[in-house]
Amino acid sequence: MDQMLDWNPPVAAASPPRFDRNGSPPWIAAGDDAPAAVLLVGPRAIGAELTRSGRARVIDHIPATRIAAHLRRMTLPDIVWLIDAETIEGETLAEICDAAIAMECALVCETALGTLDRVAALIPASIRTEWLVDADSADRLVALAAASRSQGGAVHDTARDEAMERIDRLQDEVARIARLLGDLSGQRGLAGTPPGFAPREEDHGDGGAQVRSPTRDYVAGPRSFEPEERTVHRQRAKAVRRMLRQRRMREQYLPADLFADPAWDMLLDLYAARLERQPVSVSSLCIAAAVPATTALRWIKTMTDAGLFLREADPHDGRRIFIGLAEAAFDALARYFEALEE
């Protein structure tokens, strides 16, 4: 699935190109503001909805089983849009992914939260993918704008809408968090006495005739016989979980949207899970974000692109994908909580 198809362009005589209403092939853009060409697998009503936005041109509606052959034959869309991706057979989805990689298409996947992990495990990380879970019209417009932007088209201020403003706010917030973590990672604590070691007492005066026990330069381990670092991790994980519970309790008394901070909630959840040595699936992290799943997925993608999150395959189950903290992010959070404990 991760390998590109061995594809050779067809001979023009064997497969005559099709043209749109303007007399141009569907893969030729009229300019930077040209609508994205979308190959849709799903209800025509959604295709009409995308077309009415003015940012998409649905060039065809075809079954999932025909997409790969359709792409290889002649149509070169900007975006392949899959509705109810969980209903597509794994082998068919793999063929679609291979064809999308070969044609350098972006991918938009709509799926349910319960099947998100299975579908995400089948989509290679090399494909530019926008995820939607229980999406509405606004979510589709945001995904369309994000997938279209990945094609390298120019965005003009005069054509800005609410969807583009939301994307810019997301990027600005991630940039702010990245700068904060960078500042924290650049801080270095002062060198001091290593934990668990006691300084030796110097001999003073005439102590040669006295019998003394040898000075110990170590301390006994905790009664639980756990390494000291492991004990600190467990205690800190409890503190982080308590912080997350307090944030959820706040929503019972004040409007949740006033304090929505999915990036921070996900960072805390991943940090606590790392301390607890527990893996975190994509769907679990979406729930921890305490925002709609589509918004959480967009944040996961942005944080991954920023190098704060890592996408990891489950070694025991190829149908699941785990999300983990990058080492720099983990170290920065560790120093942050050390500073809080001082």
Instruction: Report the relative pairing of strands 321-325 and 309-313 from DSSP bridges.
Output: antiparallel
Same domain, 67 and 113: yes
Work out the mean pLDDT of the chain and round it to a whole number. Answer: 76
What CATH number should be reported for the domain holding residue 144?
Answer: 3.40.50.2300
pLDDT higher than threshold 80 for residue 187? no
Domain check: are 135 and 245 in the same one?
no
Range of the domain at 308: 174-187+223-341
Of the candidate ranges 78-92, 159-173, 211-225, the one whose mean pLDDT is the lowest: 211-225
In a domain, 5, yes or no: no
Q: Which range (54-63, 170-179, 188-197, 261-270) has the least confidence?
A: 188-197
- Domain for residue 114, yes or no? yes
**For residue 167, how many other CB atoms are within 10 A of its CB?**
18
Is the per-residue pLDDT at 125 higher than 70?
yes
* Domains contained in the chain, number: 2
Residues 240 and 154 in one domain: no
pLDDT of residue 274: 93
Residue 322 scores a pLDDT above 80: yes
> pLDDT of 14-37, one tens digit each?
333 343 443 334 433 444 467 888
- Which phi and psi angles does 76 have, rounded to 5°? -120, 80
Rounded Cα gap, residues 78 and 29, in angstroms: 10
In a domain, 271, yes or no: yes
Q: What is the pLDDT of residues 253-289, one digit of tens each?
A: 888 777 788 999 999 999 999 999 999 999 999 999 9
DSSP 216: P
> Domain for residue 198, yes or no?
no
Banded model confidence at residue 165, pLDDT cuts 50, 70, 90: low
Nearest to 263 by CA among 330, 145, 176, 340: 176
Q: Collapsing DSSP states into helix, strand and coil, what is residue 336?
A: helix
pTM over 0.75: no
pLDDT tens for each residue of 188-218: 444 444 444 444 444 444 444 455 544 544 4
> Residue 283 has what pLDDT?
92
168 part of a folded domain: no
